A and B are shown apart, each in its own frame.
Chain A
Amino acid sequence: MVKNMYKRLKKKNIILSIILLLFSLMMAMPVFWMISAAFKYESEIFDFPIKWIPEYVYLDNFKTVFNDFPYVNWYINTLIVTFFIVVATLLVSSLASYAFARMDFTGKGTIFAIYIATLMIPLEVRIIPQFIVFKELNLIDTHAALILPWLFNGFAIFLLRQFFVSIPFELSEAAKIDGCSEFRTFLQIILPLAKPALMSLTIITFTWSWNSYMPPLIYINSSTKQLISVGITTLRSQYVENFGGQMAGASLALVPVIIVYLLAQKYFVEGVALTGIKG
């Protein structure tokens, strides 16, 4: 029995585990510190050694944040925009990547290569003309300005194509013999099978849009229409010396993303592997 356990322990490297655990705790430390500071009195925040668990749970930091800023609006706006970005990406990109992966047509290679090449074009080069166009169309200070550009997403097309190609082609042929149109094959056979990839893409798009900073900063002017990522910076500039408030605001922005991440971790990792593996 003891011998067995010893063997098992030896198989896994204890020292290595401890080193890695310490390193990962160091990586997560800022997040833990933020959450703990959010529940502290201003005077307690910088106590050293750090008290990770506050003596009293102090909720006023959160109360002031909700009173001083349209935090609920920021939340709702971010959720709405994220939802539409995910829908736009999934709809348009899955159609295109299906054609690239499973259909044969003139110019396929060229169009795909051009689409992929757009991955190299930084948003920063496009944002000035886009701003001008949205201004002419009166779309400044609307959420449409944040959503529309996502209708083209080279990354999503690439990721989904990789997955669609891996689905056996016999399935499509069988469907065709049964008289299925190309669109029905796509909708009823391939899409359901691609759930893991669609899920990965949803999660990746979600984090991107939740994190995107420059577009809302440039396109959105009214505070009630703003998203969390920019909202948090206005909070910081008003709470210069109110560190508890800053940390409460940051916690409110971070914790939902981290919860989503912990719940859907598998898809994050798979999504990353799906794009990285072919280099």
Chain B
Amino acid sequence: MTKRRKKKNLTAYIFILPSFIAFMAFMVFPMVFSFYLSFTDWNLFGKIADMEFINFDNYAKTLTDDYFKAAITNNLMFTIIAIPILIILAILIAILLNKKIFLRGTIRAMIYMPYVATITASAVIFTVLFHPEYGPINTFLRSLGIVNVPGWTMSSKWALITVILFWIWKQLGYSVVIFLSALQGISRSYYEAADIDGATAFKKFRYITLPLISPTTFFVLITSVIASFKVFAEVQVMTGGGPGTSTMTMVYHIYRTGFEYFDMGYASAVAWIFFVLVLVVTVIQWIGQKKWVNYDA
């Protein structure tokens, strides 16, 4: 290595050093430590020296833990229901917003607003809006003549749906803005050529728009699937995981085990299962994208 090259490297490393120290301290070390903890029986009140290694016991425990099973099921249900609605709605709104309309700025601002709104405060609003007895939503439904109004957050049948509604409301604006910027990047000439060939609006959407925004769709898909896995504040504020276990989620389970029952070893094991799940989903999507994502344009 030449002297100049060495000097160049050194300067660059100095630029990177602060972030690298933080990376070791707040990424690498916690990950390694949490992996180790997941094989121990340590609880918060014990001394670190008393930590005992218990092999795979924590992982085995998840198989018989009803809360864990409920959490995984609810998380999957949540993602399967929420993601298609979110993405289809976001593409639709973005396409409409991309047309010549009045008040575009105002409309976009209002759609994006929930995304910046403080999550706990908005969750509090939703619980009141959806209050089974007094809430305006049910009052409205009753005024339409519906007698058996849903119990929303207080019914085990509707609680997860209520959280999903809230989540979509909160996420939609972000996805719309991303799709909108992708749509604005598509050259008009594609559509003009299609017009000359007499293509219908649907055909233009199917054969021009959809393939050209596919990288964006993929990006939104991955980020929102991961976000949907992480649902926590929503559940904690709106339902507390209940009624019963009907809205228990993985992250809420980690929080409860670790910080309400202080069982840090078991909580770490659940956290690692959660992490691996996030990884697997991401990898599956990476592999799948080659079939439908078009990076040529």
- Residue positions of A touching B, CB distance < 8 A: 11-14, 16-17, 19-21, 23-25, 27-28, 30-31, 33-34, 37, 45-46, 48, 50, 91-93, 95-96, 98-100, 103-106, 108, 111, 115, 118, 120-122, 124-133, 136, 148-149, 151-152, 157, 182-183, 186, 207, 210-211, 213-214, 218, 228-230, 232-233, 236, 243, 246-247, 249-250, 253-254, 257-258, 261-262, 265, 268-269, 272-273, 276-277, 279
The listed residue with most B CB atoms (<10 A of its CB), out of A25, A93, A183, A236, is A236
Contact A273 B178 (CB under 8 A): yes
Q: Is the Cβ of B120 less than 8 Å from the Cβ of A182?
A: no
**Is the pair B177, A124 in contact by a Cβ cutoff of 8 Å?**
no
Q: Please report the C-alpha to C-alpha distance between residue A243 and residue B220 in the assembled complex, in whole angstroms.
A: 36
Residue contact B121 to A16, C-beta cutoff 8 Å: no
Looking at the complex, which one of B18, B26, B140, B258 makes contact with A148 (CB distance below 8 Å)?
B26
**B111 lies within 8 A of A121 (CB):** no
Q: Kindly specify which of B187-195, B198-206, B268-276 makes contact with the partner chain.
A: B268-276
CA distance A17 to B105 in the complex (A): 12
Q: Which residue in chain A gives the minimum CB-CB distance to B24? A: A152
Chain B residues near A (Cβ < 8 Å)? 8-9, 11-13, 15-16, 18-23, 25-27, 29-31, 33-34, 37, 48, 93, 96-97, 99-103, 106-114, 116-122, 124-129, 134-136, 139-140, 143, 169, 172-174, 177-178, 181-182, 185, 215-216, 218-220, 226, 229-230, 232-233, 236-237, 251, 254-255, 258-259, 264, 267-268, 271-272, 274-275, 278-279, 282
Q: Say yes or no: A132 contacts B128, CB within 8 Å.
A: no
**Is the beta-carbon distance between A254 and B8 smaller than 8 angstroms?**
no
A21: which of B20, B30, B107, B136 is its contact (CB, 8 Å)? B107
Complex: A19 Cα to B101 Cα, angstroms: 10
Q: With A130-B26, A151-B19, A254-B122 as given contacts, are A125 and B255 in contact (CB-CB < 8 Å)?
A: no
Interface secondary structure of A, over-half rule: helix
Beyond A124-B274, A218-B259, 15 extra complex contacts between A and B, CB < 8 Å: A13-B100, A16-B99, A27-B172, A96-B15, A120-B226, A127-B30, A133-B29, A152-B23, A157-B19, A229-B120, A233-B124, A247-B124, A253-B120, A257-B116, A272-B174
